[in-house]
Structure 1
Amino acid sequence: MKYFFFLLPIYLLLVSPYSMASCEENNEQCIEVGQWDFAVALGAGVITNPVRGGDNVPLVVLPYISYYGDKFFVDNTSLGYTFLEQPKYDVSLVAQLNTERAYFERFHPSNILVSNSFTNESNTPSTPVTNPHPDTGTDSEQPDDATGGDNDKQSPDVITIDDISKRDWALDGGIMAHWYFEEYGKLSILWLYDATGTYKGHNGRIDYSYSLPLGMPRVARLKLKIGAEYKSQKLVDYYYGISTIDTESERHLYNGKAAVNPFISIAFNYRVNENWQIKFSAKQTWLDSGITNSPLIDKKYTSNIFIGGLYEF
């Protein structure tokens, strides 16, 4: 496989460990304070990549790390400070890696399992991104084959990840709020702005989740979530727009537009013993036309699915 896009941060946002920890047996919303949590999920799964020329990403080994203090918290690629906390709601300042760049990153699968693997998903690319000019274009004499693979060639009628200039990582900062309903329901709102000046835009998310404990005692949990992501025009244009820096072909030029992407997800955990859980999770996100109209995109949705075991240290 020629390209391996490090989409692990996207998956971790779906199944991050704070949704699994509870400080009281009868409260699904409660998180244990003052304790570092380390876990590794082992199993099989995939994240689909909507960028033309990119490969889907296999999920086999997924590390987790989190810490929640009285105010400060760390959750994989996110840092936060909770400045307002009440029984029914809380508000935090947050900073986290923007995962859009992950669709354009190239890694070999073996690079996942290296030292400091807990933090590699949030680091900058292994090769510094300094070239503002596009890579060499597609050879017009090559056959019109499907995308992906070491020896695949692209038709001159399409533009792929090989033809465009590099997209940089960005660090977002903003505000996050949660409202809690009874023991199991939660409404979340997140607004973030590009703190690094990479794409000079903003993004947000709103979702409602319902977590239902199963069994007596509560050895299993089913979590359903529905929501939508907002991406500003500047964000979409930076990552999915096509400019003269990317191509000399005028018919491929595209100015990105603001997008609203609805999504739905489901997660199921079954606790086998003190350390092991069986985990299943799946998420489907439908991409707005502001993204899918880009010549760089060849799918109208992204999906991820994972099934396996989770070991908590």
Structure 2
Amino acid sequence: MYRTLLILLAALSLPSIGVAKEPCVTKDECIEMRNWDLGVAIGWGQKTNPLRDFDDIPVFFIPTVAYYGEHWFFDNGNLGYSLVEQQYFSLNLVTSYSMDRAYFYRWDPSNIFLKRSTQDGVRMFDTPAVINAEPEPVFNSLESRNFTLLGGAEAFIYTPLGVVRLAYTHDMFNVHQGAEAQIKWTYGWHFTRWVFDMSLVLDWKSTNVVDYYYGVRPSENDYWSQHYHADAGWDKGVEMTARYILTDNWDMLFAFRYTQIADEIAASPLLDQDYSSTYFIGAAYRF
């Protein structure tokens, strides 16, 4: 049996995979090996969009799909292979996808079953009015930010004070040739029918990743393409979930995530805020 935070990952649209060898707090936290685990959360929530003039993303219907074999596993769109499993340590080869593209495109995997009013993630803007010597960050139609899979390794360290995840992944298809890394600490506890989880997260993005998603192309705005210079940076985040177990299949769920965007990314003229937050309130059903 494997413990996984499936609902938290799905509700907050997180690409990371959470596998731990510790005993399950409740039966519904476990996935039986060689059996598909299917679930759905229905409710209401919203993910704020830090991109200038792009709408926030409502969250209302979120599926979860997972399968764990002896070594291979599939978890919400990500594939993995377990190399080492020890009592206090495990090491996996994994794939993942970046959260950054989700701000630009409705049908990015991070936004499956989410909806916003912008069309195809591209907005047209009026000609700027020049107020001072530096032009306002106003853009023509944005060029494509293509999807790619990241591949790499993740390690889990299991301690009495929580689970630590260390991960490093790199672009597998030469879309931006960038890399991402994560340091994540998760602690869970339960009280009668309540189950709580809290995580602190540091996400590192290389210069190539930042430039590809948040850099300005000359066709979008010639001035800002020359004056914004991307650099690597660390996003900082906190995640929390609270579940109330109604039955073996039904939970009530509240999930929240806050991300403080790296200064190097927030400096991009494509952004008009330096944070993103997500909340979701609803009911979760596990088949």
Q: Is TM-score (shorter-chain normalized) higher than 0.5?
A: yes
Q: 2:243 aligns with which of 269, 276, 281?
A: 269
Counterpart Cα distance in 2 of 1:271 and 1:245:
52
Asked if 2 retains the 8 angstrom alpha-carbon contact of 1:37 and 1:65, the reply is yes
Question: RMSD in angstroms over aligned alpha carbons?
Answer: 3.3
1:13 aligns with 2:14: yes
Counterpart Cα distance in 2 of 1:15 and 1:214:
26
Counterpart Cα distance in 1 of 2:237 and 2:103:
18
Q: CA deviation at 1:252?
A: 6.6
Equivalent residue, structure 2, for 1:157:
136
Counterpart Cα distance in 2 of 1:92 and 1:17:
11
Counterpart Cα distance in 1 of 2:24 and 2:223:
60
The structure-2 alpha-carbon separation of the partners of 1:249 and 1:89, relative to structure 1 and needing over 3 Å to count, comes to: same
Q: 2:277 aligns with which of 303, 307, 312?
A: 303
1:140 aligns with 2:114: no
Counterpart Cα distance in 2 of 1:97 and 1:225:
20
The structure-2 alpha-carbon separation of the partners of 1:18 and 1:158, relative to structure 1 and needing over 3 Å to count, comes to: same
The structure-2 alpha-carbon separation of the partners of 1:187 and 1:252, relative to structure 1 and needing over 3 Å to count, comes to: same
Residues 24-64 of structure 1 show CA distances to partners (whole Å, capped at 9, x for unaligned) of 55799965322211111011100011111211011111111
Equivalent residue, structure 2, for 1:123:
none
**Structure 2: stretches of 5+ with no match in the other structure:** 1-8
1:181 aligns with 2:163: no
1:204 aligns with 2:205: no
Q: 1:260 aligns with which of 234, 237, 262?
A: 234
**Structure 1: stretches of 5+ with no match in the other structure:** 1-7, 118-125, 130-134, 145-155
- Equivalent residue runs for 1:211-290 within 5 Å: 211-215=188-192, 219-250=193-224, 253-290=227-264
Q: CA deviation at 1:171?
A: 0.8
Equivalent residue, structure 1, for 2:64:
64
Equivalent residue, structure 1, for 2:75:
75
Secondary structure at the counterpart of residue 213 of structure 2: helix
Q: CA deviation at 1:242?
A: 1.2
Q: CA deviation at 1:100?
A: 1.5
Asked if 1 retains the 8 angstrom alpha-carbon contact of 2:50 and 2:271, the reply is yes
Residues 215-266 of structure 1 show CA distances to partners (whole Å, capped at 9, x for unaligned) of 1xxx221111112100001100111011324322357741211110111111
Query: Matched residues, percent identical?
Result: 29
Letter of the 1:205 counterpart:
Q
Counterpart Cα distance in 2 of 1:136 and 1:64:
31
Letter of the 1:13 counterpart:
L
Asked if 2 retains the 8 angstrom alpha-carbon contact of 1:18 and 1:66, the reply is no
Q: How many residues align?
A: 268
Q: CA deviation at 1:102?
A: 1.2
